[in-house]
Structure 1
Amino acid sequence: MRVSWAKLLALSCLYEVSQGNPVQSKDGYQLQPFHIDLSSRVPRMLDQIKRTELPAHPVYVSTGTSAGISLSLLESFRTEWLTSFNWTREQKDMNKFNHYTAVIEGLKIHFIHEKSKAQDAIPLLLVHGWPGSFLEFVPIINELTEEAITATGKKVSFNVVVASLPGFAFSSVPPVDWTVADTARVFNTLMTKVLHYDTYATFGTDWGAGIAYSMYDQFNSTVRALSLDFLPFYPYTSDQLAAENITLAPLEEFEQAVAEEWTNSGEGYFIEQTTKANTIGLALYDNPVGQLAWIGEKFVNWSDPNAGKSPSVLTHNEILRGVSLYYLTESFASSVIIYQQNPNGFATVYTKANNDAPLLFSAFKYNVGFWPPAVVAKTGNLVFYSSE
């Protein structure tokens, strides 16, 4: 996941209507502060990591990175996990933010709520996907709450809310047949009924894009700006683009090639989790190294080849703390259910949202999906598009 700070500043210029009063709810949602403390589970995790045997090189057939994570990279991750990774340090860092839980429709929803000092700060809900978590947004939360100046000279800052999807991290496992539209409804309740924001903006990536888009469509009086780097619609093939006379610039041609390569060789996990979520969920439930191989490969292969080098924050440590969060919260199996529950979560037929509020979109060079401006415009009121 990547969020364009410049794009969010642009969002601030387009945001409409009052933001309401960010008071805490007293309406029966059991809103309460939350403190992360998973330290008691760490010894078992480390023991599991130590006891996991990886295949010896002489008997391991390497077919290159195209077949998934390499043995040498997995060994490197495992060594770092055991020698330099420090959950106590990571947990302390997470607890620097204001965490809360609220009970909505019977589900405990975990979220971070960091408010700007500015009285007119824009409420902004950030929604993650899989294999992400609230940790995806931690590097930018403080920056978003601080006052900045837009290109037009307007002062802007955000009241940031980062919610954990049902079944992820500290949020409750959802019931059977729970869809992204259900999560959209619950998150709208979080923003309007629990936190009492009259209107707000939202950003989503991966499954979070589907949730944020559903909020934009369902709740057009409260969601007054939407920012995405992914769409809940399958990207066009090159043949489809040609059929609609959509031509691409050189960077866009590269992005289209990356997306089509993912469709050809990187979609296996998607099919597995959509059709046999319980199998992979239970197989890796109590296997931290297995979760690392399954999740770590995605982070490595879906990111910029320069990830981990300045100014990127996607270091091995960042990946390890993300996987550790999955294992320590025992949420891997429940997280993959979102695929099985939403087999049509990424639609093939494009529809336009019932909302005239601004839609902003960022296309990133190494994203596994690519949507040019003409395609994004089919889904909402596109007013800003960036390609990075």
Structure 2
Amino acid sequence: MYLSYPLVFGFVALSSASSIPHAGRDVSHNGLDIQPFTIDLTDRVPHMLDLVKKTQLPATEEPAFPGDQAGISLATLKSLRHDWANSFSWEKEQAILNGYNHFTTTIENLTVHFLHHKSSQPNAIPLILNHGWPGSFLEFLPVIDQLTKKAKTSTGRPVAFDVVVPSLPGYAFSSAPPKNWTAAGTARIFHTLMTQGLGYERYATSSTDLGSVVSYSLYETYNTSVRAAHFTMIPFYPLTAEQVAAQNITLSPAEQAQLDRWMEMVATGNAYYYVQTTKPNTIGLALQDNPVGQLAWIGEKFTAWSDPRAGTGPSVLTHHEMLRGVSLYYLTRSFLSSIYMYAQNPDGFRLDYARRAATDAPMLFSGFAYNPTFWPRQFVERVGNLVLYKSHEFGGHFPGLDNPPALVSDIREIGNVWVQ
């Protein structure tokens, strides 16, 4: 069954790696050949910038659809293009990126790229963070440092994490997915990475966007290993306003505003989803060697799906972060392969809320006001062992960028339910 409205959103960002504990470059192999990885895309930068500078945009807005009424505005795109061509430095960003612990390994003939940052705390909880589209591993960089540090939960329990951030198949430095590949396959190889590769018998997961499909598959399939799961989306169709009313669910004013934003997305924001699910090659090939085209396609999602206060504390969703993320897509030549996840998982978001995951592992959920999707507590608790449901007034679709402190705080609550 095809999804009848869009369910995946995203953004990308980085923070300085200077304060990230490296814990060396040693990881447990346990049968997998895990190798340190260094990013070097500088040879592709001149071609990218040449195309950025030569791309011709209209002099003025078309009068029929001024501003952002029909997608990204011409003024926004021109501003981003100017900064990309004149002040953005991939070389500086690459140096920052290489301050993190990158690795690659091969699982089921796929190259899997991932970050691995270990806490200095002896009882740190292993945690895998799964991103979506048009995100990447970059969106979690602002939270790695805090998650690895010793901290306390809301009840005063000590908590820290060993953090693993993989790139989904087809994203960044991970192999493109083969034919008939599904999110369940991604969950399988990520489970192999966590258990056989890194030696974690039990671990937790957190996710955004399409990463929620992978994390939920981990949660329900590997239930003796995945002992806690945190979501900002669940892979189930959000309810329409009519369905909420039929269920006699009473919403707060803030929740009603979230539902209204979701219904607006249903009405006006689903074109990208239909294209990427049914004709991925058409848009993928059209934009594969078109950096400004990728910026327009991805940038519209960045601006539409984030908190209107993006770029002001605690948000780090600046235009610079947008350029950083689109540069990664373009320079790794992964735009086309990234959107195959849509076509290969057209029914990734489920209709049946009655089919609860076969696990007793605790589930935690965080809602952010400007995330264009919305699930009331009554429906989240139907699909897992819900122990925490929190709502935040600040933030959008990817809280690792929209509201990093809130995301860190909510993930730390895993410590309240984790059994060593």
Match of 1:18 in 2: none
Question: Is 2:173 the partner of 1:170?
Answer: yes
Question: Is 2:260 the partner of 1:252?
Answer: no
**Inter-partner Cα distance in structure 2 for 1:360 and 1:58:** 45
Match of 1:378 in 2: 382
User: CA offsets, 1:294-348, max 9 Å, x none?
Assistant: 0011011000000012221000010000000000000000001100001101122
Tell me if structure 1 keeps the 8 A contact 2:30–2:198.
no
Match of 1:152 in 2: 155
The structure with higher relative contact order (CA 8 Å, sep 6+) is 2
Distance 1:196 1:239, change over 3 A: same
> What are the equivalent positions in structure 2 for 1:7-26 lying under 5 Å apart?
23-26=27-30
**Inter-partner Cα distance in structure 1 for 2:243 and 2:61:** 46
Match of 1:355 in 2: 359
Tell me if structure 2 keeps the 8 A contact 1:146–1:157.
yes
Tell me if structure 2 keeps the 8 A contact 1:180–1:342.
yes
Match of 2:391 in 1: 387
Tell me if structure 2 keeps the 8 A contact 1:114–1:160.
yes
Judge which range, 192-201 or 237-246, deviates more: 237-246
User: CA offsets, 1:344-386, max 9 Å, x none?
Assistant: 0112222211111110001111112100100101110011000
Unaligned runs of 5+ in 2: 1-9, 12-25, 393-420
**Inter-partner Cα distance in structure 2 for 1:159 and 1:96:** 17
Tell me if structure 2 keeps the 8 A contact 1:168–1:331.
yes
Question: Is 2:225 the partner of 1:222?
Answer: yes
SS of equivalent to 2:204: strand
Match of 1:10 in 2: none
Tell me if structure 1 keeps the 8 A contact 2:61–2:74.
no
* Counterpart pick for 1:129 among 115, 127, 132: 132
Tell me if structure 2 keeps the 8 A contact 1:352–1:379.
yes
**Inter-partner Cα distance in structure 2 for 1:211 and 1:201:** 13
Judge which range, 346-355 or 361-370, deviates more: 346-355
Tell me if structure 2 keeps the 8 A contact 1:62–1:70.
no
User: CA offsets, 1:226-281, max 9 Å, x none?
Assistant: 00011111101111112222111111001111111111101110011001011000
Match of 1:8 in 2: none
**Inter-partner Cα distance in structure 2 for 1:332 and 1:32:** 25
Tell me if structure 2 keeps the 8 A contact 1:128–1:207.
yes
Match of 1:193 in 2: 196
**Inter-partner Cα distance in structure 1 for 2:344 and 2:154:** 42
Question: Is 2:11 the partner of 1:30?
Answer: no
Distance 1:385 1:59, change over 3 A: closer
Question: Is 2:45 the partner of 1:42?
Answer: yes
Unaligned runs of 5+ in 1: 3-21
**Inter-partner Cα distance in structure 2 for 1:58 and 1:228:** 39
SS of equivalent to 1:79: helix
Q: How many residues align?
A: 368
Coordinate RMSD, CA, aligned: 1.3
Match of 2:74 in 1: 71
Tell me if structure 2 keeps the 8 A contact 1:259–1:368.
yes
Question: Is 2:102 the partner of 1:99?
Answer: yes
**Inter-partner Cα distance in structure 1 for 2:62 and 2:105:** 51
State the TM-score, normalized to the length of structure 2. 0.86
Question: Amino acid of the residue matched to residue 375 of structure 2?
Answer: W
Tell me if structure 1 keeps the 8 A contact 2:61–2:67.
no
Match of 1:366 in 2: 370
Match of 2:164 in 1: 161
- Percent of aligned pairs with the same amino acid: 56
> What are the equivalent positions in structure 2 for 1:184-333 lying under 5 Å apart?
184-333=187-336
**Inter-partner Cα distance in structure 2 for 1:140 and 1:191:** 20
State the TM-score, normalized to the length of structure 1. 0.93
Tell me if structure 1 keeps the 8 A contact 2:171–2:334.
yes
**Inter-partner Cα distance in structure 1 for 2:302 and 2:270:** 14
Question: Amino acid of the residue matched to residue 373 of structure 1?
Answer: R
**Inter-partner Cα distance in structure 1 for 2:135 and 2:202:** 26
**Inter-partner Cα distance in structure 2 for 1:204 and 1:230:** 8
* Shift in Å, 1:26: 4.0
Tell me if structure 2 keeps the 8 A contact 1:147–1:157.
yes
